[in-house]
Amino acid sequence: MIIRAAGLTKEFRRPRRKEGRFGGLRTLLTREYTTTRAVGGVDLALEEGELVGFLGPNGAGKSTTIKMLTGILVPTSGTVEVAGLVPWRQRERNARQIGVVFGQRSQLWWDLPLIDSFRLVGKIYEVPDPLLRKNLDLFVDLLDLGSFLDTPVRSLSLGQRMRGDLAAAMIYEPRILYLDEPTVGLDVVAKQRIRSFIAELNRDKGVTVVLTTHDMDDVEELCRRVVIIDKGRTLYDGEIKALKDAYVTHRELVLHLASAAGPMEREVRREGDRVWLRFDPAEISASKLIREVTERYDVSDLSLAEPDLEGVIREIYAVGEVA
What digits encode the pLDDT tens for the residues 260-306? 888 899 999 899 899 999 898 888 888 999 999 999 999 999 998 87
Instruction: Supply the mean pLDDT for the chain.
Output: 89
Confidence of residue 26 (pLDDT cuts 50, 70, 90): low
Alpha helices by DSSP H, listed for 18-90, are 23-29, 62-70
CATH H-level superfamily of 3-8+45-244: P-loop containing nucleotide triphosphate hydrolases (3.40.50.300)
Please check the confidence at residue 186 and state whether its pLDDT lies above 90.
no
Cα torsion through 231, 2, 209, 119, rounded to 10: 120
Q: How far apart are CA 244 and CA 107, in angstroms?
A: 37
**pLDDT number for residue 316:** 77
pTM for the structure as a whole: 0.81
- Read off φ and ψ for residue 81, nearest 5 degrees: -135, 135
Give residue 228's pLDDT: 92
In the structure, what pLDDT confidence band is assigned to residue 320 with cuts at 50, 70 and 90? low
For residue 176, pLDDT over 80 is answered with yes
d(CA 162, CA 150): 16
Q: Is residue 323 pLDDT above 60, yes or no?
A: no
pLDDT band at 28, cuts 50/70/90? low
**pLDDT value at residue 24:** 63
Summarised one tens digit per residue, pLDDT across range 30-83 is 667 778 888 999 999 999 999 999 998 888 889 899 999 999 999 999 999 999
Domain boundaries, the chain: 3-8+45-244, 249-306
Write the single-letter amino acid at 82: V
